A and B are shown apart, each in its own frame.
Chain A
C-alpha cells in the first residue's frame, strides 16, 4: 500500500466520523454525568426534604409524622444554632483565608524551577492525601501538652506549654491550623497550574517596561491565577461548612462548645444515638441554603472575572 492511499483512507475515515453532529456529541458528552447525578441525587434530596417536614427517627418503628415547618421553626429559634453558625462562619473565613494565602504563597515559591522542585512540590501535597479521621486523631496526639511533640518542638515542655485543645481561646485556632495544614496544598496545586499557564511574554514585556515586582504581581500574576484560585476557594468553602471528622477527632466540638461547628452539631443530631432524622434533615436544608447563597455570590464574581479576562 502506498503512502497516498493510506493518507486518503485516513481522510475518508475522518469524514465518516465527522458526520456525527456537534449536537449529538454535546448530548453524548453531558448525558452520562447528568444521568448519574440525577439518579443518585433526586431520591436522597427529595426524601430528606420530605423528612425535614416530619417528626421522624430512622431507628423508630413509627412512620414519619407531618409537622409542617415546626422543625425549621425550632432550629431557627434556637440561639445555640446561631452561635454554631457564627462559629462556622469564623472557621470558614479563617481557614479558607489562611489556606488561600498560604497555598498561593507556596505556589509562588515552588513555581521557580530548581533542581528537585517537582519532587518537593509533590511532597507538599502529602498532607491532603491522609484520611481526615486519622488526621484528627493524630493531631490530637501531636497537640497533647505532655506526650505530644508540638510543645516540645516549640520549646515549651510540660508544665509550661498551653493545652491547645482544652483552652476555649486556642481550640478553634488549633482546628483551623490542622485544616490549613491539610488543605493548603490543594490551593497550592491549583494556583500552580494557573501560574504555569501565564504566558512568559507578559513578564518579558513587564521586564522591558521595568515594571516593579509588585505591579507584575497585581497586574499579571493575580488576575491570571484568579479563575482557578476562585474554584479552589469555592470548593474549600463548601467543605468548611461540611467539616466534621477532623473536628470530631480533635476536640469533639469542645471545650464547651468552642469548636461546635454546624456539621459537628448536625452529626450529633443525625447520629450519635439521637437519630433525630426529621430535625437533622431540616437543619441540613438550612445549611444547604446558606452554602448555596454563598456559592452563588462567589460564582457571580467568578463569572465576572472570566468576562473580563
Chain B
C-alpha cells in the first residue's frame, strides 16, 4: 500500500521510449514541426501584437494611413532610423535656420506616447486649445497631468478601471473555482455511476447553455431585483458559476471517462474510502482536465459582457462592458481600449502559463487501458 502511494500514477511517464522517435528522420520532422509552430504563433499573435502597438500610439497615429508599425522614442530607440534627414536637390543634407538637419519621420514609424496607459487610470475631459495653454502654465502638474495635457486632456479624477478590474478578479476567480469544483463532483458522479436518468440530466445541464443570453438577461434581471442580489458580487459569482457549470460538467466528464476505473478499484481494495480514492487517485489523474476546464471557465467568466451590463451598475460591475467602448470626444480612444484589453489579458495569461504543465501533460497513463 505504501508502495502504491510512492510510485503511484502521480508520476507520469514523460520520456518516450519509442524507437521510431529517435530516428534522424523523425528528428527532422520535429524540427519542421517546431518551425511551423512558430509560424502559426506569429500569425495567431499578429492581431495581439497590433493591439499592443496601439497602446502606445496617439489617436491620429492609431488611424494613420498607411498604418504605422515601428515605435521609436525621439532621440532614443530607433530614432536614427525613423527620422530621415531631408536632402536638397544637389544631394546635400537640408538644414534649417539654426543649421540643424531637417528630419522627416518615415510613414511607418510612430512616436511612443504613454497617453493611453495614463488615460486608462483617470477620468478625463477635453480642453479647448485656449484652456490647454492656460493649464500648461500651472506649476502643480504631475507627470500624468503633463502626458495628458499634451493631448488636450485634463485629469478630473481617478478612473473606474482599477475598481472594475478588481471586481473582475473577485467574480471571475471565485466563480471559476466554484464551477470547477461543483462540475468536478458532478462529473465524477456521472462518470462513475449509472444514475437513473443520467442522459436526461446531462442534457438538461447542457441545455442551460443553449438559450441565447440576450433573452434570459431580462428575466434574470427581474429575478435578481426581487432577490435583492442585483449589483452584488455574490449575485454575479453565482450567475457565472451557473453559466459555466455546463461546460465544466461536460468537459470534466469527458476527461474522467478516460481515467480507467481500475485505479480506484485497486485503491478501494487497499482500504481507501471512496472519498479518499477520489482525492488521492482520481484528482491527480484528472489534473489536465481540471486545468483545461479552469482555463476555459475563467475565460468565459472573465470576458462576459451582456450579463455584467444588465445585472450590475456600480458596485459589482466588471471591466468588459466599459473596455470596448471607451470614448473621448467624438471617437474611440484606441490607445486606452488597447491598454485596457492588454492589461485585462494579463491575469488569464498568467494563470494559463501557471497551469501549463498540467494543461499540456495529457492523461498519460494510457498504458494500462484495456
**Closest A residue to B319 using CB positions:** A131
A124: Cβ under 8 A from any B Cβ: yes
Quick one: which of B321-354 are within 8 Å of A by CB? 323-325, 332, 334, 337-338, 341, 344-345, 348-349, 352-353
Partner pick for B48 among A126, A238, A245, CB 8 A cutoff: A126
Residue numbers in A under 8 Å from B13 (CB-CB): 200
Q: Which one, A77-85, A140-148, A167-175, is touching chain B?
A: A140-148
Whole-angstrom distance between the alpha carbons of A196 and B320 in the complex? 35
Whole-angstrom distance between the alpha carbons of A30 and B341 in the complex? 37
A197:B241 contact, CB within 8 angstroms: no
Quick one: which of A143-193 are within 8 Å of B by CB? 146-149, 152-153, 157-158, 181, 185-186, 189-190, 192-193
Whole-angstrom distance between the alpha carbons of A34 and B201 in the complex? 9
**Closest B residue to A296 using CB positions:** B203
Quick one: which of B67-91 are within 8 Å of A by CB? 67, 69
A126:B324 contact, CB within 8 angstroms: no
Residue numbers in B under 8 Å from A198 (CB-CB): 366
B251:A231 contact, CB within 8 angstroms: yes
Whole-angstrom distance between the alpha carbons of A90 and B190 in the complex? 34
B363:A124 contact, CB within 8 angstroms: no
A214: Cβ under 8 A from any B Cβ: no
Residue numbers in A under 8 Å from B289 (CB-CB): 193
Residue numbers in A under 8 Å from B29 (CB-CB): 112
Partner pick for B305 among A113, A132, A185, A263, CB 8 A cutoff: A132
B130: Cβ under 8 A from any A Cβ: no
A190:B292 contact, CB within 8 angstroms: yes
Q: Contacts A48-B219, A189-B359 hold; do A123 and B44 have CB atoms under 8 A apart?
A: yes
B40: Cβ under 8 A from any A Cβ: yes
B7: Cβ under 8 A from any A Cβ: no
Q: Contacts A26-B195, A131-B320, A133-B305 hold; do A43 and B223 have CB atoms under 8 A apart?
A: yes
**Closest A residue to B210 using CB positions:** A291
Whole-angstrom distance between the alpha carbons of A26 and B54 in the complex? 52
A118: Cβ under 8 A from any B Cβ: yes
A26:B189 contact, CB within 8 angstroms: yes
A127:B216 contact, CB within 8 angstroms: no
A134:B324 contact, CB within 8 angstroms: yes
A244:B20 contact, CB within 8 angstroms: no
Whole-angstrom distance between the alpha carbons of A117 and B213 in the complex? 37
Partner pick for A131 among B38, B216, B344, B362, CB 8 A cutoff: B344
B299:A126 contact, CB within 8 angstroms: no
Quick one: which of B218-265 are within 8 Å of A by CB? 218-220, 222-223, 238-239, 241-242, 245-247, 249-251, 254-255, 257-258
Whole-angstrom distance between the alpha carbons of A141 and B203 in the complex? 40
A200:B367 contact, CB within 8 angstroms: yes
Quick one: which of A2-36 are within 8 Å of B by CB? 11, 14-15, 17-18, 20, 22, 25-26, 28-30, 32-34, 36
A48:B205 contact, CB within 8 angstroms: no
B16: Cβ under 8 A from any A Cβ: yes
A43:B219 contact, CB within 8 angstroms: yes
B212:A242 contact, CB within 8 angstroms: yes
Residue numbers in B under 8 Å from A61 (CB-CB): none
B33:A181 contact, CB within 8 angstroms: no
Whole-angstrom distance between the alpha carbons of A173 and B320 in the complex? 26
B220:A44 contact, CB within 8 angstroms: yes
Residue numbers in A under 8 Å from B208 (CB-CB): 37, 40-41
Interface residues of B, CB < 8 Å — how many? 116
Partner pick for B211 among A119, A234, A284, A296, CB 8 A cutoff: A284
Q: Contacts A112-B33, A137-B332 hold; do A30 and B38 have CB atoms under 8 A apart?
A: no
B47: Cβ under 8 A from any A Cβ: yes
Residue numbers in B under 8 Å from A186 (CB-CB): 296
Residue numbers in B under 8 Å from A270 (CB-CB): 214-215, 218
**Closest A residue to B26 using CB positions:** A112
Whole-angstrom distance between the alpha carbons of A270 and B347 in the complex? 33
Partner pick for A48 among B188, B215, B299, CB 8 A cutoff: B215
Most buried by A among B207, B251, B337: B207
**Closest B residue to A302 using CB positions:** B254
Q: Contacts A112-B29, A114-B30, A129-B345 hold; do A277 and B218 have CB atoms under 8 A apart?
A: yes
A67: Cβ under 8 A from any B Cβ: no
Q: Contacts A106-B40, A193-B255 hold; do A281 and B45 have CB atoms under 8 A apart?
A: no
Give the shortest distance, in Å, between B331 (CB) and chain A (any CB): 12
Quick one: which of A87-118 are within 8 Å of B by CB? 106, 109-110, 112-118
**Closest B residue to A227 using CB positions:** B254
Partner pick for A249 among B45, B213, B214, B324, CB 8 A cutoff: B324
**Closest B residue to A294 using CB positions:** B210
Give the shortest distance, in Å, between B105 (CB) and chain A (any CB): 16
B273:A122 contact, CB within 8 angstroms: no
Partner pick for A263 among B212, B360, B364, CB 8 A cutoff: B212
Whole-angstrom distance between the alpha carbons of A120 and B34 in the complex? 9
Whole-angstrom distance between the alpha carbons of A118 and B47 in the complex? 21
**Closest B residue to A295 using CB positions:** B206
Partner pick for B66 among A11, A157, A231, A296, CB 8 A cutoff: A157
Give the shortest distance, in Å, between B274 (CB) and chain A (any CB): 6
A72: Cβ under 8 A from any B Cβ: no
Residue numbers in B under 8 Å from A203 (CB-CB): 18, 20
B50:A149 contact, CB within 8 angstroms: yes
A114:B31 contact, CB within 8 angstroms: yes
A199: Cβ under 8 A from any B Cβ: yes
Whole-angstrom distance between the alpha carbons of A284 and B206 in the complex? 16
Residue numbers in A under 8 Å from B65 (CB-CB): 146-147, 158
A110:B288 contact, CB within 8 angstroms: no
B367:A201 contact, CB within 8 angstroms: yes
- Extra contacts, 9 of them, besides A47-B222, A138-B338 (Cβ < 8 A), are A115-B34, A129-B299, A131-B320, A137-B324, A141-B334, A147-B64, A189-B292, A199-B367, A231-B250
Q: List 10 A-B contacts (CB under 8 A).
A: A41-B242, A121-B37, A131-B324, A147-B64, A193-B288, A201-B367, A244-B214, A280-B214, A284-B212, A299-B203
- Top 8 nearest A-B pairs (CB, nearest first) are A196-B362, A199-B366, A284-B215, A133-B324, A29-B185, A44-B219, A18-B273, A197-B363
